[in-house]
């Protein structure tokens, strides 16, 4: 969830884990960077803003599995009001890459959050997870930690069943020649589709994953930091966004929604999201006290496609949490 092109997931050169190129905007240069020990290795964490601010910080959990924090760079202007914490999950981006499938467990990825919070000395925080990161955030929220002030699930993978059902609907919305080619090349059935599937797969992604190209500085930043991890993505998910053959193929987090009561949950997604608004809205309706918002004009990459609108929704939600005890 959240990898843009299945044949370019490993793009990007290796770099020193702490030699992180800054973006052009002053605000985007990290205030602090560190490597945090977790089960299996160490993960890269960056902070923008003041962790001593009276406003609780927000940590953002990237998608994939195997994606990187680069998808949240356009959320960093939120750091003018509170600290924004971004990180790469183990085996992704600037984090260490032991490459051991024994580490690729949902619960272990969830445990990374408390390791980060402890390392930074944070008493309470907000957690936003996007796509597969929404799975991690959902699982974290269901543990009902006292430290969790607010929970945002952005285009989340709540259950594989619902995700694949949405994918089938969206494939049906594609032009007939693209649908025919997806079927003919084996993209809908094969564990490792041939190159002939690349073009129709990109057509699906262009419609429902990212509708706008990433900025040049985001591309440069992402490419200079180790990149995504295709092996992890395939092992946990599969060959593409619309086929699941990995360890998440039977994932079902829907029973956890009831455990989010009192956690001030925001569900949000894009107008053209592969996590369809009708589906995410239904999950919000099943979650006690939850809010729901749609980012107009965006597909799955909310901050990539419509950064101003996505930030506004999150900023307003955070302000409402600030007003509560």
Tell me the pLDDT tens digit for each residue of 206-262: 999 999 999 888 888 888 877 999 999 999 999 999 999 999 999 999 999 999 988
**Domain span holding position 138:** 26-322
Domain assignment present for 19: no
Domain assignment present for 14: no
Strands 125-130 and 265-270: unpaired
DSSP 8-state secondary structure symbol assigned to residue 57: P
The CA distances from residue 28 to 78, 85, 229, 321, in Å, are 10, 12, 24, 24
CB 88 within 8 A of CB 61: no
Domain assignment present for 230: yes
Domain assignment present for 49: yes
Domain assignment present for 10: no
Radius of gyration of the chain (CA): 18
pLDDT for position 16: 26
Give every residue of the chain whose pLDDT is below 70, as ranges.
Answer: 1-27, 325
Give this prediction's pTM: 0.92
Q: Nearest 5 degrees, angle CA 125-CA 131-CA 132?
A: 85
pLDDT for position 104: 98
Which residues share a beta bridge with 150? Answer: 126
Domain assignment present for 318: yes
pLDDT for position 224: 80
The CA distances from residue 130 to 32, 193, 228, 319, in Å, are 23, 26, 15, 20
Q: What's 64's domain CATH number?
A: 3.40.50.1820
Distance, in Å, from the CA atom of 275 to the CA atom of 282, rounded to the nearest integer, reads 11
Domain assignment present for 257: yes
Give the chain's domain count. 1
Structure tokens at 308: 């101003």
Domain assignment present for 3: no
pLDDT for position 216: 87
pLDDT for position 325: 67
Structure tokens at 224: 């200079």
């Amino acid at each position: 969830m959240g990898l843009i092109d299945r044949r370019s997931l490993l793009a990007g050169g290796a770099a020193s884990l702490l030699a992180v190129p800054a973006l052009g905007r002053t605000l985007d240069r990290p205030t602090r960077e560190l490597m945090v020990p977790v089960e299996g290795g160490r993960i890269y964490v960056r902070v923008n803003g003041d962790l001593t601010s009276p406003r609780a910080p927000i940590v953002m959990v990237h998608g994939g599995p195997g994606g990187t924090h680069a998808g949240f760079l356009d959320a960093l202007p939120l750091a003018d009001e509170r600290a924004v914490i971004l990180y790469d999950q183990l085996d992704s981006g600037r984090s260490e890459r032991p490459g051991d499938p024994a580490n690729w467990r949902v619960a272990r990825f969830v445990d990374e959050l408390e390791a980060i919070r402890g390392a930074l000395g944070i008493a309470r925080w907000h957690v936003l997870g996007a796509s597969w990161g929404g799975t991690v955030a959902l699982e974290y929220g269901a543990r009902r930690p006292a430290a969790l002030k607010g929970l945002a699930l952005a285009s989340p993978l709540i259950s594989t069943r619902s995700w694949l059902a949405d994918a089938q609907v969206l494939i049906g919305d594609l032009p007939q020649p693209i649908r025919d080619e997806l079927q003919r090349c084996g993209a809908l059935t094969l564990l490792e589709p041939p190159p002939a599937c690349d073009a129709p797969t990109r057509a699906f992604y262009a419609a429902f994953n990212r509708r706008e190209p990433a900025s040049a500085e985001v591309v440069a930043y992402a490419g200079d930091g180790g990149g995504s991890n295709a092996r992890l993505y395939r092992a946990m998910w599969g060959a593409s966004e619309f086929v699941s053959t990995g360890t998440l193929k039977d994932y079902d987090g829907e029973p956890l929604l009831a455990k989010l009561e009192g956690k001030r949950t925001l569900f949000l997604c894009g107008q053209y999201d592969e996590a369809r608004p009708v589906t995410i809205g239904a999950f919000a309706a099943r979650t006690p006290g939850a809010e729901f918002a749609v980012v107009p004009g965006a597909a799955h990459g909310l901050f990539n496609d419509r950064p101003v609108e996505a930030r506004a929704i999150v900023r307003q939600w955070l302000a409402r949490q600030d007003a509560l005890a």
